Every structure is written in C-alpha cells, then in structure tokens.
Amino acid sequence: METTTALTADVLVLGFGKGGKTAAHALTDAGKRVILIEQSDEMYGGTCPNVGCVPTKMLVHYSTSKRLEDEAQEFFANSIEGVRALTSAFRAGNFDALDGKETATVITGAARFVDPHTVEVGEGADRITVTAPTILINTGSEPVVPDIPGVKDSNHAVSSTDLTRTGTLPRKLVIIGGGYLGLEFASIYRHFGAEVTILEAADRLLDREDDDVAAVAADILRGDGIEVVTGARVTGVTDAEDVATIAYEKEGREYRVEADAFLAATGRRPATGGLNLDAAGVRTTARGAVVVDEKLRTTSPHIFALGDVNGGPQFTYVSLDDARIVLDQLLGAGERSTTDRVAVPRTLFITPPLATVGLTEREARERGLRIRVAREKVADIVAMPRAYTVEETRGVMKFILDADTDLILGAAILSIDAQEIINTIALAMRQGVTATTLKNAIYTHPSSTEALNEVLGAFVA
C-alpha cells in the first residue's frame, strides 16, 4: 500500500537561491516554520556559490595568476580542484546553516504543485506533500540551448557548469554568443592558455554599451589573443572523433572552425518547467517567467516569485533585494517594491572588468537630455597610479552627467577594480551626490577610486 508523508509549514520555499535562502533564514529567525525544497544536492545555496559567481570569479583569479613557467594543463587542473573544494565547502555550509535551525527543514527533490497551497516531492513510497499558507518560488534560471543542427547531440558541447568543474583544459574552445557569460569564459580560458574563438551574431560586442567603451573592451579581448568574430550566424555543428566543426556564415560567406569543446552561451530562461504552475493558479510569460507585480506577488497573491524565475535582471544581488521586498510584505510594513530600485550596477568580469550603471551616452542623447561627457583612458589617468602598480593600465572610464544639475546619469568603468568603483558611483547616484562632490572628495592613495578626482573633470563633450 502506497503511503505519503504529509508536512505543513508556515512558509514553503522552492529553490535554494540567494533570495530564497535569505528569506528562509529571516523567517525562521522570526519564529516561522519553514520548509525549503531544493531539486539538487549539488545546488544548496543556489547558482552563485555552486556554478555561477563564486567559481567563475575564482577562475578569473587563478587564470590571471598563471606564470610563464606553469604547465597549462597541470595549472588548470589544480585550479579546478581549488574551485571544487571551495564550492563544496560553501554548499555544505549553506545546507547546515539552514537545516540546522530548529524550525527549518531542507528537502531534496523536484517539487510540483498539486493545488495553490500544496506541492509534492518524489513518487510512490517516497512521496512527500508539503502544504503552506505562503509559498516563495525561487527556482532560478537555466541555459537556453539554441536550435542549431548538431548542438544538442554533440559530444563536444559543454555547459557553463562543465567549464567550472571539468579538469581538462581544451586546446581550442569556441563560444557561441558574446554576452556576459560568453565573454567571461572566453577571458578565463584564454588566460589559462586555451585558444578561444567567440562567434557573436551581432555586428559588435556589447551592443548595449556605447561604441567607444565597447571598442576598448573588444580591443582588450583581441589583445589577449581571443579571436572575436562578429556578424557570425552559426549554422551547424558536426562531430568528428576528436573535434567538433562549427559552421557559420558571415557577410554571405561560409566559414568553419574546429574546437575540442564549444559552449553555447546564448542566454538563460526562467526555470519553471515541471512546477505545474497551472495547478497553483500562477501565470507565466511566453518565456516561462513567473508574472509578478511590483511587490513580487504572483497571480496567486499568497505565492511570491524571487530571483531569475520572475524574469527580472539575472543578478544575485537583485535576488537578494527581492528577498528584502518579500520579507517586508511578510514581516514588515509592506511598503518596499521593485520601483524603489535606482542605479543598479552590473559588472562583466573580463580582465580588467567592465562595470556599468545608469544611462549610456547614446541613451541619454536619445532621451533629449542636456549632458556633459567625461572620459579618460586608464593609462592616461595621472591620479590613478594603482593601475601602474598592478601592471594593468588597459581600459577607459566614462561618465554621463546632467549639464543642468551636475548629477551623474550613468557611468562605464573598464579598469582594474571596476567592480568596486561602480558601487561608490551607484551610491552617489542614489543619494543625489553631484559629480563635483565626487571629484573633490578625499580618497585613499594609491587606490582606483581616486581616479574620480581626475576623470570627472576630463570633459570631452
């Protein structure tokens, strides 16, 4: 006879990502009974510490630490072992920190809704049902596999997860797609010693950024020895025993490139398949994103969606802010919403990194704003000796300023420490600090932030 274990909770969380685990911890600390269901025991803590931010940025560090005398394959294998050790420790720590709480339980398995308040996990004698008055969906996103002949069946196709866990360095790596994910892995693997080719369908890389900033980034990548092919439409992949051949078209001509491994970095989509959201009355978009309002409630008001699954910006720190919004609904005044977000920065971790916030020059001019543009190459910034002390003078800094108010409308920082500088700029934008105030501020020396003393006065337009 088939038996089912029936559990109840005050709050049920589906997915162990940043938003879900942050909310779960706060709710248990507030005395709520919380059950969190995670599909995979390899993903406790979510994408970031397991297959995303932590392993990739650790690989950035390792790859740029490689010395000329280091044998490429051995150095790479040792680096991957270092990544595995850290991610394993983080994974175990995330599990123990939550499951070890008296009022929290972590269940491993794929969840699916059976009604608006209940999900089930497992089948047969192992079937568990969990019922709760409040449910948080935090199942993240998954890679989009492009509909290109030969891609799905190729033995040489690798995922972003593979590239953070596999200890064999490919001699030739081809990356289909020049977005953030593709460019980061291209930079990482090139610095480890692989031959890397990027095939990007658009006419140039980083088409969201201004032409001048994108051109400097492309020059840096090419200068590192990465072959960048723009305007390339991949038409098919053919396997041989040792290599895959990727065929593409450019300007009416056909080309081929061989690779030991290739990554299809063509975007990610919300991971909602298998949740049976119809049974919960939760509506999704055509791309599978859970439809939410500005307070992250779904079409079933007792169900919230946090992180990548709701179709918002795919950043860990946005998922964290999603948790703050939901917690304000459940434990606070219920006033916070996604409309509160101003000047949310982002960073592309190539070497050196590119960090941006706010409007580009192009966007500001399209809006008809009166602007001033301050721009300077990193190599020319006298007030930033740190770039010379760490032997990384490539890049550019650019600011878009409101000509009437002197407020910062946007910035693009392509330089050493860009991921840190951008946070200061974003905070200034949120607090209404003028460009002149930032320019005349006192910064430590030698630091990258003190570049603001000079660049904010280097007007070009």
According to the 3-state scheme, what is the secondary structure of the chain?
Answer: CCCCEEEECCEEEECCCHHHHHHHHHHHHCCCCEEEEECCCCCCCCHHHHCCHHHHHHHHHHHCCCCCCCCHHHHHHHHHHHHHHHHHHHHHHHHHHHHCCCCEEEEECCEEEEECCEEEECCHHHCEEEECCEEEECCCEEECCCCCCCCCCCCCEECCCHHHHCCCCCCEEEEECCCHHHHHHHHHHHHHCCEEEEEECCCCCCCCCCHHHHHHHHHHHHHCCCEEEECCEEEEEEECCCCEEEEEEECCEEEEEEECEEEECCCEEECCCCCCHHHHCCCECCCCCECCCCCCECCCCCEEECHHHHCCCCCHHHHHHHHHHHHHHHCCCCCCCHHHCCCCCEEECCCCCEEEEECCHHHHHHCCCCEEEEEEEHHHCCCCCHHHHCCCCCCEEEEEEECCCCEEEEEEEECCCHHHHHHHHHHHHHHCCEHHHHHCCCCCCCCCHHHHHHHCCCECC
pLDDT at residue 1, as a whole number: 42
pLDDT at residue 2, as a whole number: 56
User: Structure pTM?
Assistant: 0.94
What structural domains does the chain harbor? 5-142+269-340 (3.50.50.60), 157-266 (3.50.50.60), 346-455 (3.30.390.30)
Annotated catalytic residue 445: yes
Task: Name the catalytic one among 61, 117, 191, 445.
Answer: 445
Tens digit of each residue's pLDDT, the chain (461 residues): 456 799 999 999 999 999 999 999 999 999 999 999 999 999 999 989 898 899 999 999 999 999 989 999 999 999 999 999 999 999 999 999 999 999 999 999 999 999 999 999 988 778 999 999 999 999 999 999 999 999 999 999 999 999 999 999 999 999 999 999 999 999 999 999 999 999 999 999 999 999 999 999 999 999 999 999 999 999 999 999 899 999 999 999 999 999 999 999 999 999 999 999 999 999 999 999 999 999 999 999 999 999 999 999 999 999 999 999 999 999 999 999 999 999 999 999 999 999 999 999 999 999 999 999 999 999 999 999 999 999 999 999 999 999 999 999 999 999 999 999 999 999 999 999 999 999 999 999 999 999 999 999 999 98
